[in-house]
């Protein structure tokens, strides 16, 4: 019974072929296809407004050099937001609960920001490892600590997204199972647990949106340090 709770995090397969790539590409079907007009319906207007809001939130703190990353960061934000929200639907698979996928997104982008800083301003990028005014005896230890904190950034990005979504999905499944079991035994308690389930679902919608925003926001802050 305990193992069945984690079956929802297993990548679905069809004839031995993993379907995780298909589940990642499915949110693209929700985007409108290009036409002769800029805005074709109200859904296109809402999507354009959301994309414009996301781009402004991410690009406002940056200088002009960071605006080159607007397309990458905005696309990543829309991808994570769509996958996280669609994963809350019943009988769906959430690719962002897989640590391998989150690390595949976090590590290359973090490395790109680091290499950008080393190429454009190597002195300033390496200067982050040793703050000004550090006492001489503490220099080796501080460099080691700052280097470690720098290298675990992509791991922290991937683990944070995976842990939050996995915990939310497990709580929803546990409470929904308790609601179904108590329905025939104690209907009053079952009603209370269903209310808790509804509130938890609303909370998980907010968590899915916040975690997508935090993931991209931290990448933008790492980029801001290196441009």
Tokens of 225: 């340090």
More confident residue, 20 or 95: 95
More confident residue, 66 or 26: 66
3-state secondary structure (DSSP) of residue 189: helix
Q: Answer whether 219's CB lies under 8 Å from 169's CB.
A: no
CA Rg value for the chain:
22
Lowest mean pLDDT among 19-33, 49-63, 116-130, 147-161: 19-33
H/E segment holding residue 75: helix 70-86
Lowest mean pLDDT among 31-35, 152-156, 173-177, 194-198: 31-35
Cα 55 → chain centroid: 16
Tokens of 38: 């800029």
* Res 1 pLDDT > 70: no
Q: State the average pLDDT over residues 8-14.
A: 69
The candidate with the shortest Cα–Cα distance to 23, out of 85, 95, 107, 79, is 95
In this prediction, residue 157 has a pLDDT band, given cuts at 50, 70 and 90, of very high
Buried (b) or exposed (e) across 205-226, using 16+ Cβ within 10 A? eebbeebbbebbbbbbebbeeb
H/E segment holding residue 150: helix 139-151
The candidate with the shortest Cα–Cα distance to 28, out of 97, 75, 96, is 75
In this prediction, residue 30 has a pLDDT band, given cuts at 50, 70 and 90, of low
H/E segment holding residue 57: helix 42-59
Q: Answer whether 216's CB lies under 8 Å from 105's CB.
A: no
* Res 204 pLDDT > 80: yes
Angstrom distance (rounded) from CA 6 to CA 14: 19
- The CA-based angle 2-188-92, given to 5 degrees, is 40
Give the pLDDT confidence of 113-140 residue by residue, as tens digits: 988 888 888 777 777 777 777 777 877 8
Q: What is the pLDDT of residue 32?
A: 62
Angstrom distance (rounded) from CA 131 to CA 122: 15
Angstrom distance (rounded) from CA 220 to CA 218: 5
Give the pLDDT confidence of 77-116 residue by residue, as tens digits: 888 988 898 888 887 888 888 888 899 999 999 999 988 8
Q: What is the pLDDT of residue 7?
A: 62
Q: Answer whether 58's CB lies under 8 Å from 73's CB.
A: yes
More confident residue, 6 or 55: 55
* Res 52 pLDDT > 90: no
Angstrom distance (rounded) from CA 73 to CA 224: 13
Q: Which residues contact 51 (CB under 8 A, 6 or more apart)?
A: 74, 78
């Amino acid at each position: 019974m305990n193992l069945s709770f984690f079956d929802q995090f297993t990548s679905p397969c069809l004839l031995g072929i993993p379907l995780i790539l298909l589940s990642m590409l499915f949110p693209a079907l929700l985007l409108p296809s290009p036409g002769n007009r800029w805005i074709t319906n109200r859904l296109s207007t809402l999507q354009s407004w959301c994309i414009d809001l996301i781009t402004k939130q991410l690009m406002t703190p940056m200088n002009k050099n960071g605006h080159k990353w607007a397309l990458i960061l905005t696309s990543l934000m829309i991808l994570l937001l769509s996958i996280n929200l669609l994963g809350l639907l019943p009988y769906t698979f959430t690719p962002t609960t897989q640590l391998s996928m989150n690390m595949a997104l976090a590590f290359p982008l973090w490395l790109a920001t680091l290499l950008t800083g080393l190429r454009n301003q190597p002195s300033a990028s390496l200067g982050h490892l040793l703050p000004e005014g550090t006492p001489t005896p503490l220099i080796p230890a501080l460099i080691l600590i700052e280097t470690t904190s720098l290298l675990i950034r992509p791991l922290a990005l991937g683990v944070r997204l995976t842990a939050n979504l996995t915990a939310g999905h497990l709580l929803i499944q546990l409470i929904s199972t308790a609601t179904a079991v108590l329905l025939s035994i104690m209907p009053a308690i079952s009603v209370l647990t269903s209310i808790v389930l509804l509130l938890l679902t609303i909370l998980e919608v907010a968590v899915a949106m916040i975690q997508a925003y935090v993931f991209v926001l931290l990448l933008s802050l790492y980029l801001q340090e290196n441009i």
